[in-house]
Amino acid sequence: MTLVTAAQLTYCVFTRLVQPPITHLLQGVQLAVARRYDTLLAKGEDRKQRILDVAQRLLTRNGWRSTTLAQIAGEAGVTPAGLLHHFESKEQLLHAVLDARDLDDDTHADRTGDLFDQITQVADRFHRAPELVGTFTVLLVENILPEAPLHDRMLARHRAATDIVADLIRRGQADGRYRDDIDPAVKAVEILAFVHGMETTWLLDPSIPLPEVFKQYAETLARDFAPTKKPATT
């Protein structure tokens, strides 16, 4: 007959009677902590988005030079320290605002589609995200000078957009849909100048019928780009 030591008896009692409740308790605590963390994370993201929304509105109205972090924090309902928790500086916040604009563009753009369809659809962005349009226009004007904090980014974005439009034109030329005597780079600059000009004009006068304006411009370009039909030979 095997003798059970006191240590073995204690271990048996612990594993059968004590350990299960403790294990369940620990699992419950871990689950509660995880839920609490998810809740705090969600609240943090909501607060961050609220700060971005307020920043877009104030930047559009006042410009970045006249907008302070304290003003943004106040209207967003957070403390200055709370704002700095999400954005360490004013410049970082400005970049985050531009990130939102770039994301909206990238999400809705079809860089492999038809150039004229893309131009026609630009008007949709104006109505879909007017705050982003306003903020971008103000920041663009305020960062034209090379020493401005966002100048390099604005310039890089402009050049990237020019390349995208130029590539669409080249693709159309390669397919025989566009005239081959058009300079893609030059025409791309013209098209972007029209878009940026309409952004400013629309902010000044929101009653402008944007869809019709962009539709007519796209139709004009389509006629200008159309290859010249060669006379039939007899």
- Percent of the chain with pLDDT strictly greater than 90: 48
Residue 40 lies in a domain: no
Q: DSSP code of 160?
A: H
pLDDT confidence tier of residue 63, bands split at 50, 70 and 90: confident
Digit-coded pLDDT (tens) for 78-91: 999 999 999 999 88
**Which pLDDT value is given to residue 36?**
53
Long-range residue pairs from 224-232, CB within 8 A, at least 24 positions apart, any chain: 224/179, 225/169, 225/172, 225/177, 225/178, 225/179, 225/182, 226/178, 226/179, 227/176, 227/177, 227/178, 227/179, 227/180, 228/179
Residue 53 lies in a domain: no
Q: Are 154 and 140 in contact (CB under 8 A)?
A: yes
Query: Which of the pair, 30 or 153, is modelled with greater confidence?
Result: 153
User: Does residue 130 sit within a domain?
Assistant: yes
Q: What is the pLDDT of residues 88-113, one digit of tens each?
A: 998 899 889 888 878 877 776 666 67
User: Domain residues for 156?
Assistant: 97-225
pLDDT per position as a tens digit, 178-233 = 999 999 999 999 999 999 999 999 989 999 999 999 999 999 999 999 998 766 56
pLDDT over threshold 80, residue 177: yes
Instruction: Let me know if residue 11 belongs to a domain.
Output: no
Q: Does 39 map to a domain?
A: no
Tell whether the model's pLDDT for residue 12 goes beyond 80: no
Alpha helix (H) ranges present in 63-150?
69-76, 80-86, 90-108, 115-128, 130-142
What is the model's pLDDT at position 231? Answer: 61
Task: Give the pLDDT score at 41.
Answer: 41
How far is Cα 131 from Cα 117, in angstroms, rounded to an integer? 23
Q: Tell me the C-alpha to C-alpha distance, in Å, between residue 224 and each of 178, 181, 196.
A: 9, 11, 21
Q: Is residue 187 part of a domain?
A: yes
Q: Backbone phi, then psi, for 78, in 5-degree steps?
A: -130, 165
More confident residue, 190 or 136: 190
Q: Mark 186-206 as b/e (b = at least 16 C-beta within 10 Å).
A: ebbbebbebbbebbeebbeee
pLDDT tens string 114-130: 899 989 988 888 888 78
Average pLDDT over residues 10-31: 58
The answer to the question of residue 174 being in a domain is: yes
Residue 42 lies in a domain: no
**Tally of domains within the chain:** 1
pTM for this model (two decimals): 0.71
CATH code of the domain containing 161: 1.10.357
pLDDT at 46: 85
C-alpha–C-alpha distance, residues 183 and 93, integer Å: 38
